[in-house]
Amino acid sequence: MSRLDTLFADYRARALRYPMTRANRLVDPEIALADGVYLGLSANK
């Protein structure tokens, strides 16, 4: 598994541990990749 996919797996595990019970219109960027790409992830109700 690449380092990026390992990072993504860690974020998924964290999202399941700390899911959102609120609607999330603008997801705070949790992952800042190179060249101005920002990713956010949550498990939402």
Partner 1 sequence: MNGSPVWLASISRRSRLTGKTLATSLWTPPLLAASIALLRRLVGPAGDKTRERVFRMNVTVCLHRALSQDDISQLPPHFFTDPPIDLAGGPVEILEETEVGLLTTRPCHDPVRVPLDPRNPLLWFPGDCRRCGPCQARLALAIERLEGAHAEAIST
Q: Tell me if 12 contacts partner 1 by CB under 8 A.
A: yes
| Spatial CB neighbours of 41, under 8 Å, sequence gap ≥ 6 | 11, 12, 15, 27, 30, 31
- Residue from 3, 14, 34, 42 touching partner 1 (CB under 8 A): that is 42
How far apart CA 5 and CA 28 sit, in angstroms, is 20
Task: Show the site string, 20-39: x = touches partner 1 by CB under 8 A, - = not.
Answer: xxxxxxxx-x-x---xxxxx
Q: Tell me if 10 contacts partner 1 by CB under 8 A.
A: no
Phi, then psi, of 32 in degrees rounded to 5: -105, 110
- Binding residues (CB under 8 A) for partner 1: these are 4-5, 8-9, 11-12, 15-17, 19-27, 29, 31, 35-45
